[in-house]
Amino acid sequence: MKDIIIYYLATFLKVITVFFSPISGIIILVALSTILDTIAGLWKANKLKEDITSKKIRFGLVPKLVSYVGAIMLVYASDVFIINDLTMLAVDVDYISTKFIALAMISIEIKSIDESYKSVKGCSFIDKIKAIIIKAKDVKKMLK
């Protein structure tokens, strides 16, 4: 009986893994951005001499990762069975809803990282990147 349960559980996990394999890169990017945000928060807390406890990290990182990855998986499942057929009528991009939600989550994390950076350094790295891009465009115009 135990072997049968293990067999069916293993089969179920394989099916779930195969179903979500097309978005494994998206899941990794969202998880990585969340982890980087946590690292930036720890860096900020360290620089500003704030208390850092494992409880804060555990109750901040784990629920956030689970909810973000769960949301991506839920939207992807909805995309596969419902949304993708409708969006393909207007836009020729597969699973655009999943990609849009993932992009929104990643941009939230980047903004949070920027806030931590701004708290420590006093300036925004996003603004610095924008300024570099504008200067590069100006140089390109001057060279033409």
- pLDDT score of 8: 93
Q: In the chain, what is the straight-line distance between the N-terminal and C-terminal CA atoms, in Å?
A: 76
| pLDDT tens figures, 56-69 | 777 788 899 999 99
Residue 54: pLDDT band (50, 70, 90) is confident
- pLDDT score of 52: 79
**Residue 83 contacts by C-beta under 8 Å, 6 or more apart in sequence?**
75, 97
Please, what's the largest Cα pairwise distance for the chain? 76
